[in-house]
Amino acid sequence: MRKISTWVAMGAAAVILGFQPVQAGLLGMPMGLRSAIQHIKFEANALAPFAYTQFCARYADECRKRTMFRGGPVKLTAERWDQLNEVNRTVNRDIAPERNELGLAGETWLIGPDRGDCNDYAVTKRHQLLAQGWPARALLLSEVVTNSGEHHLVLVVRTNNADLVLDNLTPSIKPWSRAPYRWVRIQMPDHNRLWATIASRRV
């Protein structure tokens, strides 16, 4: 029963993310994307958000430069897909949404608060995935702009299939090119204190 449930869940992941199934024995395994620009292209160096600098002063270990034994995105296995969904779901559930009415002056990025805004969701998800053994190079905070013009923070997870977005505004994990945002800047994989602008996703 558990084996059947696992394959069903993996098949659902393939549908949500637009992954192509391969041979029948591996039905639903994420092996590639049909119609998404898979990975973010980093452009020019950019200043980190000031609130992120304050976050690093408060949580120094979250921002330290880690030794990279290998580079690039991580392999998206069924176990890792389950971890992403679990973290996305539980953090979205456990933090009650609270709008920041003070703008930049009121931005405080906190890990695991009872109430918070998009920044708190994003850094909490990153913190939990780091604790589960995900490499820092694959867990990148990114600033975007919503259709309503608001600045918003999400967590981008770099996998071999695609750069995936964990977002408090939706329960679905999507490839970055399918998230309905204008992309502003993102952490650099090789040094999380450094940020960069993002190339257009138009092809």
What rounded mean pLDDT belongs to the chain?
Answer: 83
pLDDT above 60: residue 26? no
Tokens of 136: 């820092």
* Residue 67 confidence (pLDDT): 67
Tokens of 121: 């969701």
For the residues 148-169, what does the mean pLDDT come to? 95
Q: Tell me: the pLDDT tens digits for 29-71? A: 344 444 456 899 999 999 999 999 999 999 999 998 776 666 7
**Which residues are registered as beta bridge partners of 165?**
156, 174
Q: Tell me: the pLDDT tens digits for 118-128? A: 999 999 999 99
For the residues 93-120, what does the mean pLDDT come to? 88
* pLDDT band per the 50, 70, 90 thresholds, residue 74: very high
Rounded CA-CA distance 150/146 in Å is 5
Q: Which residue has the tokens 């999380």?
A: 192
For the residues 143-155, what does the mean pLDDT come to? 95
**Which residues are registered as beta bridge partners of 156?**
140, 165
pLDDT above 50: residue 20? no
- Residue with more model confidence, 66 or 148: 148
Hey, is 103 helix, strand or coil? helix
Kindly state the percentage of the chain with pLDDT values over 90: 66
For the residues 73-97, what does the mean pLDDT come to? 96
Q: Tell me: the pLDDT tens digits for 185-199? A: 999 998 888 999 998
Rounded CA-CA distance 9/62 in Å is 31
pLDDT above 60: residue 173? yes
End-to-end CA distance of the chain: 43
- Residue with more model confidence, 99 or 12: 99
* Residue 38 confidence (pLDDT): 87
pTM of the model: 0.81
CA distance readout (Å), 39 to 88, 166, 176, 197: 20, 15, 8, 14
Hey, is 142 helix, strand or coil? strand
